[in-house]
Amino acid sequence: QVRLQESGPGLVKPSETLSLTCSVSGDSITTYYWSWIRQPPGKGLEWIGYIYYSGSTNYNPSLKSRVTMSLDMSKNQFSLKLTSVTAADAAVYYCARLVGTSGWFDYWGQGTLVTVSS
């Protein structure tokens, strides 16, 4: 069974960098594409981007200037960094497995709430 688990600070100050990690078990991160998706409280879902084990990435143009994704194959983890956060970045952040470079998301983490406040 594939499992994903997000981890990272739940509180980030405005203008600082949000950093999250997703730990994957039950599958190797070399086999699929891996994504981050966020959901502001009470709102809809926004795709942030994906990373492949080769290092290939693709980011949502709306966030591209502030997003960096990376992966650690030795730990079977991938990570998200979002710089210069504002209140608009407050959301539940999910990591998910993406089928193909542009497909559906078949496994999701439980999500982690990130609040932006000083």
x/- string (CB under 8 A) for other proteins, residues 53-82? -----x-xxx--------------------
Do residues 29 and 71 touch, judged by C-beta distance below 8 A? Answer: yes
Q: Does residue 36 bind other proteins (CB under 8 A)? A: no
Site for other proteins in 91-110 (CB under 8 A): 94, 96, 99-106, 108-110
Please count the residues of this chain forming the interface with other proteins, following the rule CB under 8 A.
22
Q: Does residue 40 bind other proteins (CB under 8 A)? A: no
Q: Which residues bind other proteins (CB under 8 A)?
A: 44-47, 58, 60-62, 94, 96, 99-106, 108-111
